[in-house]
Amino acid sequence: MRAKNYDQAVGKFDQAIQAESSNYRYYVLKGQALVRLKRTPDAIRAYEGATRANPGFADGYKMIGLLYIKQKDYGNAVTSLNKAFDAETDKSKKLGYKLMTAKLLLQLNKYNEALAELNQAKQIQPNDTRIAATEGQIHIKNSNWQAAYDTYGQAEQMARNQQQSGCAIGQFQAGKAVAASKLGREAEFKSTVEALKQSCPKMASYATNMVRASGSGRFLATANGYLKADAYEEAIQWINKAIESGDNKAAVHKFAAVVYYKAGQPSVAIDHFKKSAEATPEPEKRLAIYAQLAKLQFNSQDYSGAIQSIDLITASKPNPGLSFMKAQAQYNLGQYAAAVQTAEAVYAKAETAAPALKAKYQFFIGLASKKAGNTEKARVAFKNAAVGPFKLAATEEMKSMAQ
């Protein structure tokens, strides 16, 4: 062994085991030599021999667990580490085993089992911030944002009580910030990240990257790749995962609306725009989503829906372009008198508008008035519209009405 001649060492340890099979140390030495030879499966068998010879050998079970981790066999690693926990008497080591098994179960997406391991760890040392950190990671990966927020908040307070500072406390602030973002509390997320840039820059970067990579952020990024390739069916599959994650609903449904519209399913897109607006707390952003919704509804010939969306917007903020769209929607629904009234209100506030735009409004008022049976108003409107690109069309309309 000391000469690093590990192959011959293994042979000699085998001879020692044959001579004294009850001595667990020979198996351990053989296992060490096999590890150096990178013969991991054989090393596992050697350490298993050590635990058979000495069932209370906690470090043997630990080594088996670590070797299984090296093979990425996390299920068997958990089993071995739990045996190490049962055999160990040192509380600090027992706590370490439970933290390790919880993290391995997290890798296997076995969230409830991982939390159960942590509950055992809490019985050993309830105020250990490592337990809280691991629990927060589990909730983050499981997209359980409120639980993550609460856990990291408690961990932060625990760390403060223990007079921790810098990145020691920053890890909990970062985790709490990620959960806050997923719960739609963007202002809290941004302010925390700005504070972390001063106290622990690496945690500021971690929080930003986690928001992008976890929950809906990761799923939407994946869906966007399929969208750019016009693979709508695959994009929708990832959007559904984003919806199931339950976080950042406004952004998720808005993105879903875009994909469904491009996929030729405007009615589904409309539903997602509505859900996006309902999930958006900021008034300005919500009105912007309703504006997109109104345009989609109009283009999909859902004129009644477009009128409802436009009314929601103009009740809070004037918008001449959308108001004129409302007039067009009323016209398409056969509500000619209402269309005239809406268009005239738009025109009345267009004193500084370009002549071509004014002519457009007047030409439309002429068409709607004609349909409503108000020929006199139609003539006046067509006369006012007989300029620029509308001159010939307005002239033809006046001629037809004179006959």
Q: Are 332 and 302 in contact (CB under 8 A)?
A: no
- 120-141 residue pLDDT tens: 999 999 999 999 999 999 998 8
| CA–CA dist 22, 47 (Å, integer) | 13
Identify the H or E element spanning 198: helix 186-199
3-state secondary structure of 354: coil
The pLDDT > 90 percentage for the chain reads 84
pLDDT of residue 372: 95
Report the mean per-residue pLDDT for the chain: 93
Return the structure tokens found at 168: 């020691």
- State the Rg of the chain over Cα: 35
What would the mean pLDDT of 31-43 be, rounded to a whole number? Answer: 96
The pLDDT > 70 percentage for the chain reads 99
Question: SS3 for 154-178, per residue?
Answer: HHHHHHHHCCCCCHHHHHHHHHHHH
Which residue is it, tokens 């808005």? 254
- 283-316 residue pLDDT tens: 888 899 999 999 999 999 999 999 999 999 999 8
Q: What angle do CA 146, 184, 240 make, to 5 degrees?
A: 85
Amino acid in the structure at residue 220: L
pLDDT of residue 210: 86
Q: Binning pLDDT at 50, 70 and 90, where does residue 351 land?
A: confident
Cα(first)–Cα(last) distance of the chain, in Å? 113
What ranges do the domains of the chain cover? 130-212
What would the mean pLDDT of 317-346 be, rounded to a whole number? Answer: 96
Q: pTM (2 decimals)? A: 0.60
Q: How far out from the chain centre does Cα 353 lie?
A: 43
For residues 220 and 340, the model is more confident at 340
What would the mean pLDDT of 257-268 be, rounded to a whole number? Answer: 92
Q: Residues with Cβ < 8 Å from 34, sequence gap 6 or more?
A: 6, 10, 40, 42, 43, 46
